[in-house]
Structure 1
């Protein structure tokens, strides 16, 4: 039961920081340059890339901590503050635009693999998502929790694929207001997660 709880905690945290709804404007803009089939394939590959990127940081997190001499409580506080700031922007709606800017579209189209950059990174697996995975990785205490975390990353990537591959439908169905609301709700969830990370880190640093 505890592993299931950890899975849902990790899944909600990762989906909240990924916030695939924020990528809908960019995907809609890019879809004008590609067919529906091509765009769905691009989105599928971007979700796969995001999963692999996060998996890489999941298994190299301990090495990073050791090389830089970072303790788990300190990282929880620092990572929590970063996530808190990102969550505030989400709640305020600063990460959601009706359309992607012209220079963003041109920059994306100029790249050979837009599934990797900018869709997989930094959209889905940016600094905030990587930080979340590292904090969760440092918190696990058993092999089963590690498996639960891997499954949560996989499920989060799948949710991102479903959302981004349905960008046009979601935009037409939910409208700008609905998408903005969904983005703000994920921001509220992320606020709660970030405060928990900060509290856990400070509790250990101040009262150990």
Structure 2
């Protein structure tokens, strides 16, 4: 076992910023209004399964198509960079279809375990031990579950401006992480 508290905290913060469940509270509230009920437990468990499975088989899929982890990590750093720009500037670079129901599909995938999260998992796998990443996934899923369960209350307490500030702060953190991922993995390509 290669348990490392620094890696766990780092991976947890990276995933927290990418998943951005706090910034997704308005979407969650909208889903709750449309469907009347959100399956928090089911969405959280399915998202965790997707993330852990991709952590293990994602690299095999890459090997199958002839891409090494360093290349994927550099590409992932670009995805994180653009996600951070969206969070900081409040612009939408990627537009997805609005989910119609509060089922597993819009919550677990792509809201929680979306393309950014899956890219990030493989990117940080190039840097951190798998056990630390799994612990980070579990910690994030617990937080996601708690946020999904209490999203209405959180939105009332924080207000729109509070949610906006948190989103921008984590956008800056995500931007720094993207730059670090790029700098760390670009040397592995040459």
What TM-score, normalized to structure 2?
0.88
Q: Is the 8 A contact 2:73 2:182 kept in 1?
A: yes
Q: 2:121 aligns with which of 118, 133, 143?
A: 133
For residue 194 of structure 1, report the CA deviation from its aligned partner: 0.7
Alignment of 1:122-161 (within 5 A): 122-140=110-128, 145-161=129-145
- Tell which deviates more after alignment, 49-58 or 69-78: 69-78
State the partner residue of 2:22: 21
Query: Is 1:121 aligned to 2:109, yes or no?
Result: yes
- Deviation by residue 1:66-98 (Cα, 9 ceiling, x = unmatched): 112112221121110111011110111236xxx
1:65 equivalent to 2:54? Answer no
Residue matched to 1:75 = 72
Q: Which residue of 2 aligns with 1:98?
A: none
Residues in 2 aligned to 1:158 and 1:125: alpha-carbon distance in whole angstroms = 14
1:197 is the counterpart of 2:181 = yes
Distance 2:72 2:30 in 1: 37
Match of 1:108 in 2: 100
User: Does structure 1 retain, via aligned residues, the 8 Å contact 2:76–2:120?
Assistant: yes
Q: Quick one: which of 140, 162, 165 aligns to 2:149?
A: 165
Provide TM-score, normalisation by structure 1. 0.81
Tell me, which stretches of 5 or more residues in structure 1 are unaligned?
A: 96-102
- C-alpha distance in 2 between matches for 1:76 and 1:31: 35
Instruction: Decide which moves more: 84-93 or 164-173.
Output: 164-173
Runs of 5+ unmatched residues, structure 2: none
Aligned residues between the structures? 185
CA contact (8 A) 1:16 1:187 kept: yes
Larger Rg: 1
| TM-aligned CA deviation for residue 15 of structure 1 | 0.7
RMSD: 2.0
State the 1:33 CA deviation. 4.8
Which is richer in helix? 1
| Displacement after TM superposition at 1:8 (Å) | 0.8
**Contact preservation (8 Å) 1:93, 1:183:** no
